[in-house]
Amino acid sequence: MKISSILATKSHEIITIGPEQTLLEVVQLLVRHNIGALPVLDERGKLIGIISERDVIRRAAETEKLHETAVRAVMTRKVITGLPQDDVMSVVHTMTEKRFRHLPILQADKLIGIISIGDILKAQRDTYRGEIDTLETQIMADNDV
């Protein structure tokens, strides 16, 4: 299974944030859209980082002034990204090993989507269910003969 089959059924509206915006705005966007991370884009729309709810929580443990803290101070700059043609199974191993939960997807260096570990688990579950159903149908057909 490829990343593209997960992206095909997701909203193409990608919620992003700029480096000069504040952590308070991050929190507001995460809550409003019920998501766990935001890709950070510069003024030309280039992906320069990612900021997650976990990043915000860590900083919130040190300061109350989320409204004064800029995204660029907290974001992860070395972003691991994926391609639409990446295998889901390979990607999930990396996400588990490296303990990150959101993967921005690029095509020709342009951000085209973001998938979460939850999206992947759902896709895997549906794949296994589908394979089990296919096999069960064939086994039962054998029994009918």
Partner 1 sequence: MTTFGTESNPLRVAIIGAGPAGFYAAEHLFKQKELVIQVDMYDRLPTPFGLVRNGVAPDHQKIKSVTKVFDRTAGNSGFRFFGYVDLGQDISVEDLKNHYHQVIYTTGAQTDRNLNIPGIDLQGSHAATEFVAWYNGHPDYRHCEFDLSQESVAVIGVGNVAVDVCRILCRTPEELAVTDIADYALEALRESKVKDVYMLGRRGVAQAAFTAPEVKELGEMEDADVVVLEEEVQLSPLSQASMADADRGTTRKVEIVQSFAGRPLTGKSRRLHLRFLVSPVELIGDEAGQVKSMKLVKNELYRTDAGSLRPRATDQYDEIPVGLVFRSIGYQGVPLEGVPFNVSWGVIQNQAGRVIDPETKEHLVGQYAAGWIKRGPSGVIGTNKPDAAETVDLMLADAAAEKVNMPAHPEPDAIERLLEERKPDYFSYADWQKLDDLETAAGEAQGRPRVKFVSIEEMLEARGINN
Binding site for partner 1 (CB under 8 A): 1-2, 4-13, 80-83, 85-87, 90-91, 93-95, 97, 103, 107, 125-127, 129-135, 137-138, 140-142, 144
Q: Which is nearer to partner 1, 63 or 96 (CB)?
A: 96
Positive or negative: CA dihedral 45, 40, 6, 89: positive
Q: Which is nearer to partner 1, 59 or 101 (CB)?
A: 101
| Least spacing, CB of residue 117 vs partner 1, in Å | 12
CB contact set of 104 (below 8 Å; sequence gap of 6+): 39, 47, 50, 79, 81, 82, 111, 113, 114
Burial label, 141 (beta-carbon count in 10 A; 0-12, 13-18, 19+): exposed
| Least spacing, CB of residue 31 vs partner 1, in Å | 20
| Least spacing, CB of residue 20 vs partner 1, in Å | 26
Q: Which is nearer to partner 1, 22 or 81 (CB)?
A: 81
| Least spacing, CB of residue 80 vs partner 1, in Å | 4
Asked if residue 119 lies in contact with residue 95, where contact means CB atoms within 8 angstroms, the answer is no
